[in-house]
Chains A and B, each alone.
Chain A
Amino acid sequence: MLAVDVKNIKKTFTSKQDTVEAVKDVSFQVEQGEIFGLLGPNGAGKSTTILMLTTLLSITKGSASILGIDVETQDKQVREKIGVALQDTGIDNLLTGKELFFTTCRLWGYNKSDSEKRTKELLELVGLTEAADRRVKTYSGGMKRRLDLGLSLVHSPEILFLDEPTTGLDPGSRRVLWDEIKRLRDTGVTVILTTQYLEEADELADRIAIIDEGLVVAEGTSDELKASIGGDVITFSFETEGDITKAQQLLTDSVQEKMELRITVEDGASKIPGYLKELTSAGIEVSSVAASKPTLDDVFLEVTGYRLEGADDAVEETPASTRGRGR
């Protein structure tokens, strides 16, 4: 049975002022026991998709099921099966980590002594035993994310939804969370996570769906997506604007980015000498050239027509939509 089966879901928000098509048409399937990544920039519709699948928003059109249970009509049963950590973490700052775990265990139906046991286990699992008796207010961003993850695991859910679990964390904290998520996958938990980080999708997700402006624009394993571009990427760097402009006239299929031109060709390395000869004989000075396998970044550029910026400097929280392109 599929862990998650999403068929052409759509979400329209209507208010007095206007209507927003937050999710236009999203479909994907997730097998049990895999990590599925929804990769997209700010405003792509990731959170809206997650909220629909976790029964917190109604689905305007289309259908979705979790382990064969329909999300719209059987929301109570779905909630039993899923663990959810939302993007705006709902954490009670005045309580201690231990109190939060205990309360959540009790709400899931554990009796007092089992709740105490489970609290201890989970604090250990997410590495918060030391901080257990401190109020959550004093936790760092990374600790809060781990707490949030832990709280979503209380009832040992089969399916876990994580909306941007590592946004805003430093590389070290991200890696800690990645390891935890992988460990969960290895125990059989299915994980659906959203991210705006290419590296995270590449490293963590078994399969990826790229989502942009409410649509799934590509889907597959990281390798499949990279292979779909076909061939290698050759990157030429130049010193002057003049050289770039002239080179562009020769390399008609190239994509410019800052002082670089990129082209995608079969068997890139063997073609470099030919290109260089052509460019130098036209009087263009090439400062460097390299051939490489396509990255997820290149895939993103190919399917959306722009780059997912800020992807490689995860530490600073950059809203991609304010950079590069207007929406």
Chain B
Amino acid sequence: MESNRSFLTQLQILTKRLLLRVIRRPLAELPNIFISAFFLFVYDGALGGVFGGSAQGTPFDFANGNFVNFILPVSIVSASVSGGASGIYLVEDIESGVFKRYQSMPISKWAIILAPMLVGALRVLLQAGLIMVIGKIIGADPAVGAVGYFMVLSIAFLWGMGFAGYSVAAGVRSGSSQGAQAASFLFFPALFLAPTFVPREALRGWLATASAYNPTTYVIESMRAIMVDGWITDVISKGYIAAGSFAAITLTFAVISAGKATEKA
């Protein structure tokens, strides 16, 4: 029996179980997908006419004639917040006592903690991927070519893992699903204290300052470079660095918190 009990097998079984739970609650997936798609349609509908093709030759032509390319990153970033579900999954298991049952079995505690993070990651990829498909249907076309989709998705993935880590840490520290849910509250100011609708050059005063310190800014700018402008490597790499650091910090924090929370009292 021992041989079947490797860390990876356990992780796979626990991940499968969580996926079953996700499938059993399909409605829980809808709000975030809906909000993200809503951003895409509403902003394109409201602003696409002004800043899209008709802006060509004017100073407002920052979308390079395709406003969907310009606004799609905002929707993708919004979709990647779905990684915050990781903490909720974990805390649900702590609250229901399932976590304790697993602890009484010879299962690696890291498999128990990593499984919800994996499911969070999968959720990010699926939601961001879906938004991307919608974007393509309504006219998105990355300036760097088709590889741009994968690049944007990979940044979204890192960004989403950042939220996963944050929610797991918040969840195990507060021991409640509300604590884990707080991860998504962080998202709203972060998304709007950024060059959400216009380039950073067009922001003024305190918002310009705030956005300079907001990692979301660099994530959006880097996705925009990929979609709108082409290979501007320093802008693109800043997005990877911002998202990667956010993920590294929160995941470290998550591992430390989860380790502490699962120590024997």
Q: A interface vs B, CB < 8 Å?
A: 13, 54-58, 76, 79-80, 82, 84, 86, 88-95, 99, 103, 106-111, 135, 151, 155
Contact = CB atoms under 8 A, between A and B. Distances in A.
Contacts of A135: 24
A107 B71 CA distance: 45
Given A56-B100, A92-B98, A13 B265 contact: yes
Given A94-B24, A109-B1, A86 B265 contact: no
A63 B265 CA distance: 16
B13 A107 contact: yes
Contacts of A86: 97, 100-101, 104
25 contacts: A13-B265, A55-B104, A56-B264, A57-B264, A57-B265, A58-B265, A86-B100, A88-B97, A89-B97, A90-B98, A90-B100, A90-B101, A90-B102, A92-B17, A92-B21, A94-B25, A95-B17, A95-B20, A103-B16, A106-B9, A107-B10, A107-B14, A107-B105, A109-B4, A155-B1
Contacts of B106: 76, 79-80
B99 interface: yes
B107 interface: yes
A84 B104 contact: yes
B234 interface: no
Given A56-B103, A91-B98, A106-B13, 20 more contacts: A55-B104, A58-B264, A76-B106, A79-B105, A79-B106, A86-B101, A89-B97, A90-B97, A90-B98, A90-B99, A91-B96, A92-B21, A94-B21, A94-B24, A106-B4, A106-B9, A107-B5, A107-B10, A107-B105, A110-B1
A110 B4 contact: yes
Main secondary structure on chain A at its contact with chain B?
loop
A280 to B, nearest CB: 59
B201 interface: no
A36 B150 CA distance: 61
A178 to B, nearest CB: 23
Contacts of B96: 90-93
A58 B10 CA distance: 25
A159 to B, nearest CB: 12
Interface string B76-113: 00000000000000000100111111111111000000
B104 A56 contact: yes
Q: Which 9 A-B pairs have the closest CB atoms?
A: A90-B97, A109-B1, A90-B101, A109-B5, A90-B98, A109-B4, A84-B104, A58-B264, A94-B24
B29 to A, nearest CB: 14
Contacts of B97: 86, 88-91
A110 to B, nearest CB: 7
A48 to B, nearest CB: 10
B137 to A, nearest CB: 33
A58 B101 CA distance: 16
Q: Which of A58, A106, A110 has the most CB of B within 10 A?
A: A106
A139 B98 CA distance: 17
A67 B63 CA distance: 72
Nearest to B23: A94
Contacts of A92: 17, 21, 93, 96, 98
Contacts of A13: 265
A46 B99 CA distance: 21
A111 B14 CA distance: 15
A20 B105 CA distance: 28
A92 B19 CA distance: 13
A103 B264 contact: no
Interface string B225-265: 00000000000000000000000000000000000000011
Contacts of A103: 13, 16-17
